[in-house]
Amino acid sequence: MAHDFRMPSLGPDMESGTLLEWRIKPGDEVRRGDIVALVETDKGAIDVESFAAGTVEKLLVAPGTRVPVGMVLARFSGAEVQAAAAPEEAAPAAAARAEQSPALAEPAAALAAAATASAPAQRQRISPAARVRARQLGIDPAQVTGSGVGGAVTLEDIARYAAAVAASPPPAEPARAAPDMRQVIARAMTRSKREIPHYYLSLTCSFLAARTWIEQYNAGVGIQGRLLPSALMLKAVALAAQAMPEFNGFYRDGQFIPSASVHVGMAIAMRGGRLVAPAILDAGTKTIDVVMSELRDLTTRVRAGHMRSAELTASTITVTSLAEEGVDLIVPAIYPPQTAIVGFGSILERPWIVNGTVRPAPLVTITVAGDHRVTDGRAGARFLAYIRDALQAPQRL
């Protein structure tokens, strides 16, 4: 079965991307998850993975070309197409995408794009007017991503596609400068504050047990194996999300869709004021040393500009930490379509009462922003307590 590899959507706001480099050539065997291309987006250069396995038959786009989301970049033959990582999430994603303007498309739209790409045999929905217009302009409607009901291609989609094709420079010309990431963050956060009825809770707890455990652990391993507090925080949140699935998933189409997997996004600042929240996949089932090494690898790659497409779109819940910035607590905004975000303030030496005696202890204030369409403060309180308790027994993380 043939498979079309298309330009994926890698952000809430992405309409097109510039193919920088092919990592494959005709005749190559591609496995699912292999990095096949490097694509320049407003988040920097992203390593794009394949959702299908097969043999590369033909590369259709030359490096340096700016192409709209959904356009076919390469064709694989003998492709063994796998369902997207989370098929139960992919279909609603497509539906949600259809309802919204392209500027507000889901961050998880890549899943939808992947699902679309995985089903090339499916009949395309297109409005009659759009079909006529496409014929006039000499556009193959199969190349166009639909934004209408049920993913149908509309007249507007055809116009947008035509404009994007006209705007793309001929191959080998230098890529157009990426838009400002600030605008991307602005759109996502504006949508968050407009659509999500947030509630906020905070809880202060001792970090003494965790810190002591980390010190002992680190004394026994080489530098390579040393843990940072953020690894424990991330794992504690992953376990809480596993235990309380109502905090782990997406809100789409007027309903909450829990995710079977827990992919914890970690807000990582890049020098120069940029911020991304790529995911540690299946964080709840990984041991603490694996979580730490993946976190280190992820941070290093993000700062060097090497993120992978799956990491960028998979998060089911997000963690943000300003542990080193001296702030007491964070009141975070949920990253749509997720429904919860957990913030960690600084770990600060403060008075703490244990068995009636005041003593100094490292304390951390944990906050959760929850989505009132899905959960209430009471569930949020249990969620925070779960994280606190997990941090009091670090050896079990």
Partner 1 sequence: MNPPDLENRILSIFLEVAPDVDPATLQRDVPFRDQFDFDSMDTLNFALGLHKEFGVEVPETDYRELASLARTAAYLATALEHRS
In the bound complex, what is the minimum distance in angstroms from residue 159's beta carbon to partner 1?
38
Phi, psi of 109 (to 5 degrees): -60, -20
The helix/strand/coil state of 105 is: coil
Q: Residue 81: is it exposed, middle or buried by C-beta count within 10 angstroms (0-12/13-18/19+)? A: buried
Exactly one of 299, 328, 382, 385 binds partner 1 (CB under 8 A); which one? 299
Residue 308's alpha-carbon distances to 44, 56, 149, 279, 311, in angstroms, are 11, 20, 30, 10, 5
Q: What residues have CB less than 8 Å from 364, skipping those under 6 apart?
A: 204, 205, 207, 323, 344, 345, 346, 347, 348, 391
Q: Which of 201, 269, 275, 290 binds partner 1 (CB under 8 A)?
A: 269
Using the rule CB under 8 A, which residue among 23, 125, 301, 303 binds partner 1? 303
Least separation in angstroms between residue 324's CB and partner 1 is 6
Q: Which stretch binds partner 1 (CB under 8 A): 181-189, 234-242, 301-309, 367-375?
A: 301-309
- For residue 237, the Cα-to-chain-centroid distance in whole angstroms is 17
Give the integer Cα–Cα distance in Å for 16 and 42.
10
Tokens encoding 111? 């899943």
Residues between 118 and 147 with contacts to partner 1, criterion CB under 8 A: none
In the complex with partner 1, which residue's Cβ is closer, 306 or 382?
A: 306
Task: Decide: is 218 part of the binding site for partner 1 (CB under 8 A).
Answer: yes
Phi, psi of 263 (to 5 degrees): -110, 110
Residue 323 CB, shortest distance to partner 1, in Å, is 8
Site stretch for partner 1 (CB under 8 A), options 77-85, 177-185, 223-231, 384-392: 223-231
CB 53 within 8 A of CB 32: yes
Q: Minimum distance between the CB of residue 326 and partner 1, rounded to whole angstroms? A: 12
Question: With respect to partner 1, which residue has the nearer C-beta, 128 or 222?
Answer: 222
Dihedral of CA 269/271/275/279: which sign?
Answer: negative
Contact 292, 280 (CB under 8 A): no
Q: Does 221 bind partner 1 (CB under 8 A)?
A: no
Burial of 353 (0-12, 13-18, 19+ CB in 10 A): exposed
* Pick 174 or 222: Cβ nearer partner 1: 222
Give the nearer residue to partner 1 in terms of CB position, either 229 or 336: 229
Considering only residues 31 to 50 of the shown chain, the ones binding partner 1 according to CB under 8 A are none
By C-beta, is 94 or 266 nearer to partner 1? 266
Q: Which of 2, 209, 270, 348 binds partner 1 (CB under 8 A)?
A: 270
Our finding on whether 177 is near partner 1 (CB under 8 A) is no
Among 88, 324, 349, 376, binds partner 1 (CB under 8 A): 324
Pick the closer one to partner 1 by CB: 112 or 363: 363
Peptide bond into 337 cis (omega under 30): yes
Structure tokens at 180: 């400002």
By CB under 8 A, which span of 130-138, 233-241, 298-306, 361-369 interacts with partner 1? 298-306
CB 89 within 8 Å of CB 250: yes
Binding mask 61-100 for partner 1 (x = CB under 8 A): ----------------------------------------
Beta carbons within 8 Å of 77's beta carbon, 6+ residues apart: 2, 3, 54, 55, 57
Touching partner 1, residues 197-216 (CB under 8 A) = 215
Options 172, 177, 223, 358; binder of partner 1; rule CB under 8 A: 223
Identify which of residues 55 and 299 has a Cβ nearer to partner 1 in the complex: 299
CA atoms 232, 234, 238, 240: torsion sign: positive
Query: Which positions from 226 through 265 interact with partner 1, judged by CB under 8 A?
Result: 226, 228-230
Which of 131, 296, 301, 382 binds partner 1 (CB under 8 A)? It is 296
Residue ranges in contact with partner 1 by CB under 8 A = 215, 218-219, 222-224, 226, 228-230, 269-272, 295-296, 299-300, 303-305, 323-324
